[in-house]
Amino acid sequence: MVDREAGEGSVWLSNRGDDCGNLVYKKRLAELTQRAQKESGAKRSVCFVSSFLPQKCGIATFTNDLINAIRANTGDFSPFVVAMHGGEKVDYADPVKFEIRPNVEGDYRSAAEHINFSQAKVVSIQHEYGLFGGEQGNYLLLLLRRLRVPVVTTLHTVLDKPSNAQRKVLSEIADISYKVVVMSRQGMSMLKDVYNVSGKKAVHFPHGIPDLPLVNPNNYKHSLGLRERKIILTFGLISRNKGIEVMIKALPEIVAEDASIVYAVVGVTHPNVKQVDGEEYRLSLQRLVAKLGLEEHVIFYNHFVSAPELHQWLCAADFYVTPYLYPQQMTSGTLAFALGSGKAIISTPYWYARELLEDGRGRLVDFGDSQGIAANIIELLRNRRKCLAMRKRAYALGRTMTWRNVGASYWKLLGEAARRGRARAVLYEPVPEETGSVVDLPDLQLDHLIRLTDEVGLIQHARFIVPAREHGYCTDDNARALEMIIKYYRNKKDKELLRLLNIYLGFIYHAQGVDGRFQNFVTFERKLVEPDVPGDALPRAVLGIGALVGDPPTPAYLASAKECFQRAIVHLPVASLRGKAYSIVGLSYYLKQFPEETDIKELLRKNAQMLVSAFEERSSEDWLWFEDELTYDNAAVVQGLFVAGQVCEESTFMETAVRSCEFLLKHTYDGHHFSFVGNKGWFPRGGQKARFDQQPIEASSTVGMLRTAYEATGEGKYARLMRKAFDWFLGDNDLQLPVYDLATGGCGDGLNADGVNTNQGAESLLSFLSALICVSESYASRGGKGRSQ
């Protein structure tokens, strides 16, 4: 989080827990408030939370155009921007006053403080999926719940079939907002029907467009070096869902009709796509062009064009094509721009195109229909009068969508919100009395994970933070690392995370034998050790690969991951008690991607039934456990049953999970902090519980168990205890010593009688990182009790 007003390079850390840091921060905010009051005078200050130029992003361009449009309508306007930092290094200028790193929770809280201490009378949120961190962007709620000023939210996408998480997040955003703005009539209907947002809450403003004249394209082609050519244009950020290959496949037939045709693809690859896939899509399009012999008829203008450049291309174009592949697109700035400049438009029938091009303002063809595109363009080439009439109808509607008109509508709404909107400061996020913690969550850092990872995989052990290569690698650790990275990548699309993911996945693939079993250990010299049949390697691999199948970075991972998974699960009957629990979670991940595979669900149920049978055989009135001894990773067994209870909806699984969970809590939580079973003697039935050495894996699995228990039962105490279990890492333990090392990013290998084990190996690190992600996702995904301030 960077406070732009605090001076060049000044960074205010949002996770400082000390009073001194908070006082300094608030004092600085008070100074900024006084300065803002002097500078703004009587102007209405509006804060925009959005990506912003010079980021290469459609939302950034939209917000910049909106600010300029409002300025054109009034002099009573003082905007500032809280910029969502997209990862690439950019140098912001005025009006950006503050930056949020999307995946750093503390930045959202600090941004709310900054806005509350500013002179902002209203906040405009530009919402798009992928812009904000957390599960389905729920980190935005950390900011919204703290604001004391009214909010107007523009929804750039509304999904017709949202997941539960997507529906929950968007519904709460709408609930907090004074109004939500959508850019299509269908968006209005979907808000009401899918999200239960009232018609009074939602308003429809069109996507703003530049005010361009209806011109003869031939007058603008010479400056592009395309005199005497007829131009078909597609522009915007390039990604596979744009379907550009469909238009290219239509070209041979069109060129046969008119050899002067040139298809211009204007724009750079979408930054998020480029970060993961590089320029593979653009290169595939170029290969297609070469294969079809169309090199003289296709131009790839690989630039993020400025507004004047874009206007030049729009004016010069004869036809505009959006051959998008899927119907679920609520708005398209590029289509709106083309309509507003009076282009002859051919499009596939995605939602926004159907609405914008009705009444003869354009032509619609089926998805993937190259022949349909060709037929329509050829017809319009042959009938200039029909083409001009269509252009005029499009241009007429565009007059109502110019930025000046749209800016006036937004300014009126923002003023209404500032006057009538309820001042608020609702804090729904868990507070100290709910969580039992007064310590902010640390930021997730991967420094030590990267330190322990080489080109082969994750090295098991370390001397302090130095990798102990003589111990080599194990499948268990690499599978856990894979699961953790997949969860983190879900919220942070980062190339370094993808690099790590591929290393851990490659290790697992290499460790799997032809029969589907896994060698657990690999020496530093890359020699495989015998298969680990009764151990945890197999079920841990099932868990890690299952996580990949359930949530792959791209669909390309699915085929090989599914094949690896299917070959492994045939050996699950030999898994240990804990192995069955790991397998249940892995199978549940798989079912998220393939819910129709009943054999997988049945396998999950059988593993859960085996856990229940073990509980019924070993438990007694005073010993509600699956074995005659509490040993390692105990909570994982209970978590497996909670997961099975949710997936299979069998009360026996849930009842056994609750009883064993309460038994485990009775013996590990003393009412103040957690004291886990130590591995120096464990805890045998009828014996004494070993106090030391307590392992980080116990804290991590307890966090996971309690989060799942809360989600399965709705019992608030489990959410509170989840945070208490995590705080074991931060020093809320028997020795009151932090096990997590903030300086190194590593985690001590245990809590011993004489202190924290200073060696920081892979298992301990993964335990901490997994627990941190688990708690962070839980906080961001639930509303908590809430309180007003």
Residue 715 in tokens = 């019992």
State the pLDDT confidence band at 328, using cuts at 50, 70 and 90: confident
- pLDDT tens sequence across 744-779: 999 999 999 999 999 999 999 999 999 999 998 887
DSSP 8-state secondary structure symbol assigned to residue 677:
P
CA-CA-CA-CA dihedral for 439, 130, 61, 77, to nearest 10: -40
State the pLDDT confidence band at 788, using cuts at 50, 70 and 90: very low
Q: State the pLDDT at residue 4.
A: 55
- pLDDT tens sequence across 692-708: 999 999 999 999 999 99
Sign of CA dihedral 532, 534, 537, 542: positive
Tokens 């008690």 — which residue?
A: 577
Q: State the pLDDT at residue 787.
A: 26
State the pLDDT confidence band at 780, using cuts at 50, 70 and 90: low
- pLDDT tens sequence across 343-400: 999 999 999 999 999 999 999 999 999 999 999 999 999 999 999 999 999 999 999 9
Question: Rounded to an integer, what distance in angstroms lies between the CA atom of residue 103 and that of residue 499?
Answer: 18
Q: Are strands 629-630 and 683-684 parallel, antiparallel or unpaired?
A: antiparallel
Question: Rounded to an integer, what distance in angstroms lies between the CA atom of residue 475 and that of residue 521?
Answer: 6
Question: Rounded to an integer, what distance in angstroms lies between the CA atom of residue 249 and that of residue 360?
Answer: 25
- Decide if 123 contacts 151 (C-beta within 8 A): yes
- What is the arithmetic mean of pLDDT over 614-631? 96
Task: Kindly report the backbone phi and psi dihedral angles of residue 250, in degrees, each rounded to the nearest multiple of 5, phi listed first.
Answer: -80, -15
DSSP 89-155: -----TTEEEEE-TT-HHHHHHHHHHHHHS-EEEEEEEE-TTTS-SGGGTTHHHHHTT--S-EEEEE
Question: Rounded to an integer, what distance in angstroms lies between the CA atom of residue 243 and that of residue 246?
Answer: 6
- What is the arithmetic mean of pLDDT over 634-638? 97
Residue 724 in tokens = 């208490």
120: amino acid identity, one letter: A
- pLDDT tens sequence across 30-50: 555 555 444 444 467 999 999
Coil, strand or helix: which one is 31? helix
Whether the pLDDT of residue 426 is over 60: the answer is no
The more confidently predicted of residues 534 and 295 is 295
Residue 495 in tokens = 């190339």
Q: State the pLDDT at residue 84.
A: 92
Bridge partners for 262 per DSSP: 231
Alpha helices in 594-731 (DSSP H): 598-618, 634-648, 651-668, 696-713, 716-730
Q: State the pLDDT at residue 291.
A: 95
3-class secondary structure per residue, 252-281:
HHHHHHCCCEEEEEECCECHHHHHHHCCHH
Among residues 565, 657, 668, which one has the least CA distance to residue 611? Answer: 657
State the pLDDT confidence band at 9, using cuts at 50, 70 and 90: very low
Among residues 677, 775, 665, which one has the least CA distance to residue 726? Answer: 775
The enclosing H or E element of 29 equals helix 19-40
Whether the pLDDT of residue 17 is over 50: the answer is no
State the pLDDT confidence band at 270, using cuts at 50, 70 and 90: confident
Q: Are strands 521-522 and 473-474 parallel, antiparallel or unpaired?
A: antiparallel
Coil, strand or helix: which one is 216? coil
State the pLDDT confidence band at 25, using cuts at 50, 70 and 90: very low
568-602 as b/e: b if 16+ CB within 10 A? bbebbeebebbbbbbbbbbbbbbbebeeeeeebbe
Task: Kindly report the backbone phi and psi dihedral angles of residue 611, in degrees, each rounded to the nearest multiple of 5, phi listed first.
Answer: -65, -45
- Walk across the sheet containing 96-100 and list its strands: 2-3, 96-100, 77-84, 44-50, 120-127, 151-155, 179-182, 202-204
Burial class (CB in 10 A: 0-12, 13-18, 19+), 70: buried
- Supply angle C-alpha 650, 651, 657, rounded to 5: 105
Residue 227 in tokens = 């005199």
Task: Give percent helix, percent strand, percent coil of the chain, each to the nearest 5.
Answer: 50, 15, 35
Q: Are strands 261-266 and 298-301 parallel, antiparallel or unpaired?
A: parallel
Tokens 């968007």 — which residue?
A: 170
628: amino acid identity, one letter: D
Tell which phi-psi region holds residue 755, choosing left (phi > 0), alpha (psi between -120 and 50) or beta.
left
Question: Rounded to an integer, what distance in angstroms lies between the CA atom of residue 289 and that of residue 737?
Answer: 63
Q: State the pLDDT at residue 276.
A: 73
Question: Rounded to an integer, what distance in angstroms lies between the CA atom of residue 525 and that of residue 758?
Answer: 26
State the pLDDT confidence band at 448, using cuts at 50, 70 and 90: very high
535: amino acid identity, one letter: G
Question: Rounded to an integer, what distance in angstroms lies between the CA atom of residue 215 and that of residue 53?
Answer: 29
Task: Kindly report the backbone phi and psi dihedral angles of residue 96, in degrees, each rounded to the nearest multiple of 5, phi listed first.
Answer: -70, 120
Q: State the pLDDT at residue 348.
A: 95
- Supply angle C-alpha 365, 371, 374, rounded to 5: 85
Whether the pLDDT of residue 430 is over 80: the answer is no
Question: Rounded to an integer, what distance in angstroms lies between the CA atom of residue 327 and that of residue 157?
Answer: 12
- What is the arithmetic mean of pLDDT over 323-344? 89
Whether the pLDDT of residue 510 is over 90: the answer is yes
Mean pLDDT for the chain overall? 88
Q: State the pLDDT at residue 492.
A: 78
Among residues 118, 202, 134, which one has the least CA distance to residue 169? Answer: 134
Whether the pLDDT of residue 440 is over 90: the answer is no
- What is the arithmetic mean of pLDDT over 45-71? 91
Coil, strand or helix: which one is 322? strand
DSSP 8-state secondary structure symbol assigned to residue 205:
-
Q: State the pLDDT at residue 87.
A: 65
What is each CA distance from 512 to 170, 437, 568, in whole angstroms?
42, 43, 8
Q: Rounded to two decimals, what is the model's pTM?
A: 0.61
Q: State the pLDDT at residue 531.
A: 59
The more confidently predicted of residues 276 and 428 is 276
- Decide if 394 contacts 363 (C-beta within 8 A): no
